[in-house]
Amino acid sequence: RISGKSTPTETVFSIQDNGRGIPEADLPKVFEPFGRAGTPDVPGEGMGLAYVQTLVRRHGGRIWCNSRVGVGTTFSFSIAHNPLKEIQPAEAEKVEG
């Protein structure tokens, strides 16, 4: 399920599934580069969500997730209506930290 909601300052999008869910202990690392949620049977390098987080932050937004094992996961992100000024490469590290 995909949904969206607009506020005066941002638009929030949510993507919900009814998959296997992410164990609570793995949630803090899902946005880290090469972070994997304890699923060796699922292919991937663990870079996708780290990349998405960088893009969202560069648009003045934020990203988060809620998950329950056996129920599913909801990823949500916001995009600011008035995005940040263009970020120069030297400034990008400051924003990402």
The mean pLDDT of the chain is: 84
pLDDT, position 88: 58
pTM for the model stands at 0.74
What's the whole-number mean pLDDT along residues 1-30?
93
Assess whether pLDDT exceeds 90 at residue 61. Answer: yes
What's the whole-number mean pLDDT along residues 83-93?
57
Assess whether pLDDT exceeds 70 at residue 21. Answer: yes
Q: Is 32 within 8 Å of 50 (Cβ atoms)?
A: yes
Which domains are delineated in the chain? 2-96 (3.30.565.10)
What's the whole-number mean pLDDT along residues 21-50?
82
| pLDDT tens figures, 5-18 | 999 999 999 999 99
Q: Up-side HSE of residue 67: CA atoms within 13 Å toward CB? A: 20
Share of the chain above pLDDT 90, in %: 54
- Round to whole Å and give the CA distance between 31 and 16: 17
